Copies of this chain bind each other. A is one copy, B any other.
Amino acid sequence: MQLTALAPFSCATLDVLLAERGIDAVLATSAHNARYLLGGYRFFLYDRSDAIGASRYVPVVGYVAGRAADSFYVGVPLEDWDTDVHPPWVPEVANVAWGSVEAAEAAAERIAQRGLRTGTIGIEPAHLPADAMQALARALPHATFADATQLLDELRRVKSAGELDLIRRGSTAVVDSMLATFAGLPIGATTSEAVELLRQEETRRGLTFNYGLIATGSDHGRAPCGRRIAAGAVLSLDSGADLNGYVADVARMALAGEPSARHVEALAHVDAVQQAARDAVVAGRRGGDVPDAAQAFMATLPDASRMAFQVHGMGLLTHEAPRLMSGGAPPGPATHRDRPLEPGMVLSIETHLADPQLGFVKLEDTIIVAADGHEAVADRGRGWNSLG
């Protein structure tokens, strides 16, 4: 009883999701789901690289349906350093496994101890190494393995106050970092130099830099490279960074000069699509209305054929539940299209106009679903910012 209160997620919700799929226990092995089930904990030593010698770091969080007190965690021996000072909520912390096969064996042993040798075990097939899967199947030959990816995504779809706080702080810091980058960037700098400056600004604000997508001039390629930002050219900056694993993903524009009427119009159109999407964000409204409203409005614009809109849920992953549209990049099923939006869902909405002359014009904003509408996080710097 007390343990379900300690758990950083709703055990009741997870139990329902497991019961619906007939899963007896789940083994979370992805960085994001292990972190989620442990309330933010991730062993700092392997956060950047999970290669360990000739194997791989595979943290395993085990959760047995309806039996939170049987939850466990399998880490590496050195991990006592971290769990001693940041103890996870699970009753059993077993820092015993070096590498993927040992981790799977230690998890299988605990599944067997909990009487689930013939049970149905949920796994993450894209985030479980092939040799760990083989070790699981070998150690639990009478168990059935089921894909738990979608149910764990579902579990994460509504954010807690603590998660929303990280998302707000992260998005705000990314926008601040972009504005500082624009202000500090001389005309003639390369796009690689611009992204390195952004990385410095984000790091200075406590974030872990993930990537900077950047386009300048009439070129729509978005990889940082030796391309120089010329006088009069547009600059599109789109960056991901995280705070304790929670992602911020925002895009802003700058110009190396004064905006022309065409510049102003292009960005106004992009913004208008973003506003059309925002207007559809309120708890209780059908999720699919967000992309539908944006795309219907976009279709009325003269540049529609060169524009694109995308919406994705965001949290520990850049693209997660709620999933309101298919298509986009990456493609995926629109599992939440015909379901109501819920307070605490986080949406990233993004619109671009890829103009052959003007260049790549884009805005991306973070929107939190609220009972009476929505909250636009870090809603600043959305016009033409000046360079240098």
Contact = CB atoms under 8 A, between A and B. Distances in A.
Nearest to A245: B49
Interface stretch (A202-210, A338-346, A348-356): A202-210
B44 A31 contact: no
A379 interface: no
A102 to B, nearest CB: 10
A30 B54 contact: no
Contact of A55 (B32, B85, B330): B330
A292 interface: no
Interface stretch (A121-129, A178-186, A250-258, A279-287): A121-129
Interface residues of A, number: 72
A367 to B, nearest CB: 19
Contacts of A78: 329
Contact of A53 (B31, B46, B196, B330): B330
A82 B40 CA distance: 32
A67 interface: no
A128 B130 contact: yes
Contacts of A99: 126, 330
Nearest to A127: B56
A51 B127 contact: yes
B77 A100 contact: no
Interface stretch (A2-10, A216-224, A261-269): A216-224
Given A45-B213, A49-B31, A225 B127 contact: no
A44 B132 contact: no
Contact of A54 (B86, B153, B213): B153
B209 A199 contact: no
B77 A51 contact: no
A76 to B, nearest CB: 8
Interface string A298-310: 0000000000000
B131 A129 contact: no
Given A49-B317, A211-B45, A55 B126 contact: yes
Q: Most B CB atoms within 10 A — which of A52, A54, A55, A226?
A: A54
B86 A149 contact: no
Interface in A32-75: 32, 44-49, 51-56
A332 interface: yes
Given A52-B330, A54-B149, A99-B330, 14 more contacts: A31-B51, A32-B51, A47-B211, A48-B210, A48-B211, A53-B332, A77-B329, A80-B221, A81-B213, A81-B221, A84-B223, A125-B134, A129-B129, A200-B203
Interface of A: 30-32, 44-49, 51-56, 76-78, 80-82, 84-86, 98-101, 123, 125-134, 149-150, 153, 196, 199-200, 203-204, 206, 208-213, 221-227, 240, 242, 247, 317-320, 329-332
Instruction: Give the top 6 A-B pairs by smallest Cβ distance, nearest first.
Output: A130-B133, A125-B131, A85-B225, A56-B126, A82-B223, A48-B210
12 contacts: A30-B51, A44-B211, A45-B211, A51-B317, A53-B332, A54-B149, A56-B126, A77-B329, A101-B126, A127-B129, A129-B130, A130-B130
